[in-house]
Amino acid sequence: MSPRVILLPGDGIGPEIIPAAVAVLKAVGPELQWELEEHLFGGASIDAHGTALTDETLQACRAADAILLGAVGGPRWDTTDPAKPRPEQGLLALRKGLGLFANLRPVKPLSALYDASPLKRELIERTDLLVVRELTGGIYFGEKTRTRDSASDTCLYTRAEIERIARVAFGAARSRVTSVDKANVLETSRLWREVVREVHGSEFPHIELEHLLVDNAAMRLIAAPRHFEVILTENMFGDILSDEAAMLTGSIGMLPSASLSGEGPGVFEPVHGSAPDIAGTGAANPLAMLLSAAMMLRHGLAMEAQAAAVESAVDQALAEGLRTPDLGGSASTAEATQAVLGHL
């Protein structure tokens, strides 16, 4: 087997954590002939090519088995000029170009890190939830207008878009799905609630379904995170709630994500950003990148045993005391990587 993986290091700490993932992949699958191909992406691609995602890179991604992405963005590319390219445009174009409509973000605080969370241990103990976020519709992709004195962003959803993401959420659930919307105000949310209810009744009646308004869901994530199993949400609400949920673990540097289509390669990336303030210092936490590689092994390459081995190695390294600066320790990126490799 020769898995073909495109590496998109991106910006900031991205080029520092991608090599950690490569080292782990080679260690967990030494018998495999990994085909690894690196491409510029985000701000690095803007500097070299004038665009955050070139046609050549997109074609390479389409031909791959999976894509590992580091992080994009940074102050040097920040602009409010709509005519200038931004690194984040590369992410949106990649999702659209690969049809990545489902974003999966597992949130499971590790027992070794309970005390790193800003919430009390008794609140977060045994939390094990999954945010399923619709990724290619909604306000991020709607028509946009801009004049000197006004601007608009259209939020648009179709029945088919809601049906397919609802099926992903119900399919991932053991017992309960919480669908999040703003149906008391937004027409798109009323359609969302109606379609989710129909998919539930006709295809997944054995799964419990509850509906929560997004503001209530945001409060309950902090007050009672164990309440949730699978959170189903549209694009913008999911963007916000998944980052909120990330802090249950004590550091956004701990969380992986997978962006999937019905068919074709997925993109696997840590939830954290490019952290330009620590880029080049060797202080970046590589664990979310390593856990994203585990999600790639599981969801992208159907290698469950290898995925579990990586996750177990991360757990064991933390249990033995591994702490990077964001977790209150002093371990460098290289030291954290070696600690995980030592348990594979």
**Distance (Å, whole) CA 249 – CA 9:** 24
The DSSP code for 46 is: H
In the set 65, 153, 243, 315, the catalytic residue is 243
In the set 114, 215, 315, 326, the catalytic residue is 215
Alpha-carbon Rg of the chain, whole angstroms? 20
**Distance (Å, whole) CA 252 – CA 105:** 12
Q: Which of 149, 153, 128 is nearest to 141 (CA)?
A: 153
Q: Which of 62, 83, 103 is nearest to 263 (CA)?
A: 62
Q: Catalytic: 243?
A: yes
**Distance (Å, whole) CA 18 – CA 119:** 30
Cα 336 to the center of its chain, rounded Å: 21
Contact status, residue 270 vs residue 17, Cβ threshold 8 Å:
yes
In the set 11, 114, 140, 157, the catalytic residue is 140
**Distance (Å, whole) CA 69 – CA 218:** 28
In the set 239, 277, 315, 326, the catalytic residue is 239
In the set 96, 153, 182, 315, the catalytic residue is 182
Q: Catalytic: 153?
A: no
**Distance (Å, whole) CA 103 – CA 135:** 6
Contact status, residue 234 vs residue 138, Cβ threshold 8 Å:
yes
Contact status, residue 104 vs residue 134, Cβ threshold 8 Å:
no
Q: Which of 249, 211, 7, 237 is nearest to 106 (CA)?
A: 249
Q: Catalytic: 215?
A: yes
**Distance (Å, whole) CA 292 – CA 10:** 15
**Distance (Å, whole) CA 259 – CA 273:** 16
Q: Catalytic: 182?
A: yes
Instruction: Kindly report the backbone phi and psi dihedral angles of residue 107, in degrees, each rounded to the nearest multiple of 5, phi listed first.
Output: -130, 105
**Distance (Å, whole) CA 28 – CA 310:** 7
The residues assigned a catalytic role are: 140, 182, 215, 239, 243
